[in-house]
């Protein structure tokens, strides 16, 4: 791994009272600093980004805006949109035009919660020129599993889409603490706007439950997530899960092949080395299942916040996952 790079943790999707959040920007920044994040992107709905990125003590604030219409939402990072809201967002072509405007101005564009039942992407998605896809939005739930399945299938088709996570934070509910859930860790050259966005676009990242939760690293020699390696027989990847919880499972995929499926016997570090069987990609994830006593509690939460999912069987959820290393 490149010695000049370092892992930096942040949140790509946040809201304040400037759209539909409950915290002022100042209050949100203080909360992010308490979380120990290195960087964050405030993405209020159709609200202009700051004129430039800035540091708040050790926290980098990257420019951001969530372009929002009935047909879908997408984040624009790294610029102030050249055109101002209210936007015309009626037809698919309207969305495509704004995406082109953002990218031509140097912005990074990420589709948000594409298969959300309430606020998903309602147009063709596979051929839109997004830089990233937010496949983990808010605490892990059924729609995120759909997002992950879609992303995995696109990877199988040979499409290289950088996955990101964002808490989509608006407020907490009673005893919850939803800020930076999930957290995106990027392997960046420095904590600057350009280097963080470059790492996000290239998929030099993993996404996990929170800033202090499981950390998942995958390498092949000097290569790390988002890198391309020339495949050769006998080539191996090393996967290390730090802070993995007892009972959680570490799974390593080579395309649709499962190279490893290991259940953690205790809290701590779990490491494995496996051979890459075929060209394509290798990625890793940690999954968990609700314990029997937790299932009624989860169903009560679903009834309150996501009643459309009440009839779904409670499947294993993802606790942490990496972007792939590609093998050609």
pLDDT grade, residue 302 (50/70/90)?
confident
> Nearest to residue 235, comparing CAs of 275, 203, 208, 195?
275
Classified as helix, coil or strand, 115 is coil
Asked if 186 and 199 touch (Cβ cutoff 8 Å), the reply is: yes
Determine the Cα–Cα distance for residues 110 and 132; give it in Å rounded to an integer: 4
Q: Is the pLDDT of residue 46 over 80?
A: yes
* pLDDT at position 314: 82
Model pTM greater than 0.85?
Answer: yes
Residue 161: which H helix or E strand, with range?
none
Classified as helix, coil or strand, 90 is coil
CATH of the domain spanning 1-212? 3.20.20.140
Residue intervals of the chain classified under CATH 2.60.40 are 214-328
Q: Is 214-328 assigned to CATH 2.60.40?
A: yes
At a CB cut-off of 8 Å and minimum separation 6, what does 258 contact?
251, 252
> Looking at residue 308, what DSSP letter applies?
G
Determine the Cα–Cα distance for residues 281 and 82; give it in Å rounded to an integer: 37
Which residues face 208 on adjacent strands? 183, 320
Mean pLDDT score across all residues of the chain: 96
Q: Which pair of structure tokens corresponds to residue 263? A: 């259940």
> Nearest to residue 36, comparing CAs of 65, 58, 66, 19?
58
Residue intervals of the chain classified under CATH 3.20.20.140 are 1-212
pLDDT digits (tens, 9 = 90+) for 182-220: 999 999 999 999 999 999 999 999 999 999 999 999 999
Determine the Cα–Cα distance for residues 241 and 289; give it in Å rounded to an integer: 17
Q: Which residues of 228-261 are buried (b: 16+ CB within 10 A; e: fewer)?
A: ebebeeeeebebbbebbbeebbbbbbbbeeebbe
Is the pLDDT higher at 306 or at 27? 27
pLDDT digits (tens, 9 = 90+) for 70-96: 999 999 999 999 999 999 999 999 999
Determine the Cα–Cα distance for residues 74 and 327; give it in Å rounded to an integer: 30
């Amino acid at each position: 791994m490149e010695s000049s790079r370092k892992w930096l943790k942040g949140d790509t999707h946040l809201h304040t009272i400037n759209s539909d959040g409950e915290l002022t920007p100042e209050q949100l920044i203080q909360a992010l600093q308490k979380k120990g994040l290195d960087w964050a992107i405030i993405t209020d709905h159709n609200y202009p980004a700051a004129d430039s990125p800035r540091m708040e003590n050790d926290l980098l604030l990257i420019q951001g805006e969530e372009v929002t219409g009935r047909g879908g939402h997408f984040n624009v990072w790294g610029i102030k949109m050249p055109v101002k809201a209210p936007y015309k967002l009626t037809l698919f072509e309207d969305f495509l035009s704004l995406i082109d405007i953002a990218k031509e101005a140097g912005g990074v564009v990420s589709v948000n919660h594409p298969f959300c039942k309430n606020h998903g992407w309602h147009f063709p998605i596979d051929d839109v020129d997004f830089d990233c896809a937010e496949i983990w939005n808010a605490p892990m739930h059924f729609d995120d599993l759909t997002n992950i399945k879609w992303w995995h299938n696109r990877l199988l088709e040979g499409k290289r889409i950088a996955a990101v996570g964002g808490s989509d934070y608006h407020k907490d509910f009673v005893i919850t603490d939803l800020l930076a859930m999930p957290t995106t860790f990027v392997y960046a050259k420095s904590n600057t706007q350009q280097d963080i966005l470059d790492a996000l676009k290239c998929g030099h990242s993993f996404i996990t439950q929170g800033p202090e939760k499981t950390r998942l690293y995958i390498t092949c020699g000097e290569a790390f997530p988002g890198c391309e390696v020339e495949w050769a027989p006998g080539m191996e990847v090393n996967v290390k899960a730090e802070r993995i919880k007892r009972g959680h499972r570490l799974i390593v995929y080579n395309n649709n092949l499962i190279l490893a499926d290991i259940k953690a016997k205790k809290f701590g570090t779990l490491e494995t080395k496996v051979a890459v069987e075929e060209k394509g990609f290798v990625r890793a994830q940690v999954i968990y299942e609700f314990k029997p006593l937790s299932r009624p509690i989860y169903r009560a939460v679903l009834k309150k916040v996501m009643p459309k999912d009440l009839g779904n069987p409670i499947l294993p959820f993802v606790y942490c996952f990496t972007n792939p290393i590609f093998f050609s």
